[in-house]
């Protein structure tokens, strides 16, 4: 840390710093609150989707034995691409689920069991729900990291930079005040000595 100078220029610099810190702090606090709220909301959405996924899997489970019989669903449908867009939250880019492109093999409707259509729809829905949860967890991680950094900055401003600037301003004011008082006293002593010399002369 640079040594504190007891000058009017340094006093002005410290006051400018304090002004900047106190102006920037509310923005950081607001960002911190926004991130906390967004993390909570994301957690709730993940919970809702996971509940939906559990219900869907419970509905499909009785069919799993049937799926394994004659036709392997995995050969009929595969994920080709997970498409995302970006959303900016509190200054960070977050991937957002848009859709999944599936690669689906053509199959003969007359030669495949009726459950295959249902199976393909179920696989698509499960894949979409899992992809959404995956991206939401990624979002949660990115937001949590940004929250950690923002919280550190808030603490730095609140507990170190603002108190330090206030302390420096107080200290410089005291030293400058003492210097001014000393200058006045020295001036009076010098004046008195000059007056005494004038009288003697």
pLDDT digits (tens, 9 = 90+) for 46-61: 999 999 999 998 888 7
pLDDT at 37: 97
Q: What pLDDT, in 10s, does the model give residues 141-181?
A: 999 999 999 999 999 999 999 999 999 999 999 998 888 88
Residue range 24-159 forms a domain whose CATH class is mainly alpha
Instruction: Report, as ranges of residue numbers, the positions in the chain whose pLDDT lies below 70.
Output: 1-2, 64-73, 108-111, 113, 200-201
pLDDT at 65: 64
Check: CB of residue 6 under 8 Å from CB of residue 179.
yes
């Amino acid at each position: 840390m640079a040594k504190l100078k007891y000058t009017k220029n340094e006093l002005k610099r410290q006051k400018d710093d304090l002004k900047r810190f106190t102006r920037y702090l509310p923005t950081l606090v607001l960002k911190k609150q926004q991130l906390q709220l967004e993390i909570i909301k994301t957690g709730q959405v993940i919970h809702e989707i996971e509940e939906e996924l559990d219900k869907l899997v419970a509905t499909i489970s009785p069919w799993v034995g049937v799926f394994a019989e004659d036709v392997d669903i995995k050969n009929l449908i595969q994920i080709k691409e997970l498409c995302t867009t970006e959303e900016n939250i509190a200054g960070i880019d977050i991937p957002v689920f848009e859709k999944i492109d599936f690669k689906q093999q053509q199959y003969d409707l007359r030669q495949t069991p009726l459950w295959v259509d249902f199976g393909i729809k179920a696989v698509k829905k499960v894949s979409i729900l899992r992809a959404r949860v995956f991206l939401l967890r990624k979002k949660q991680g990115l937001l949590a990291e940004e929250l950690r950094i923002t919280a550190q900055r808030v603490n730095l401003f609140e507990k170190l930079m603002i108190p330090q600037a206030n302390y420096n301003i107080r200290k410089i004011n005291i030293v400058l005040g003492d210097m001014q008082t000393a200058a006045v006293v020295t001036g009076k002593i010098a004046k008195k000595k000059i007056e005494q010399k004038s009288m003697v002369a």
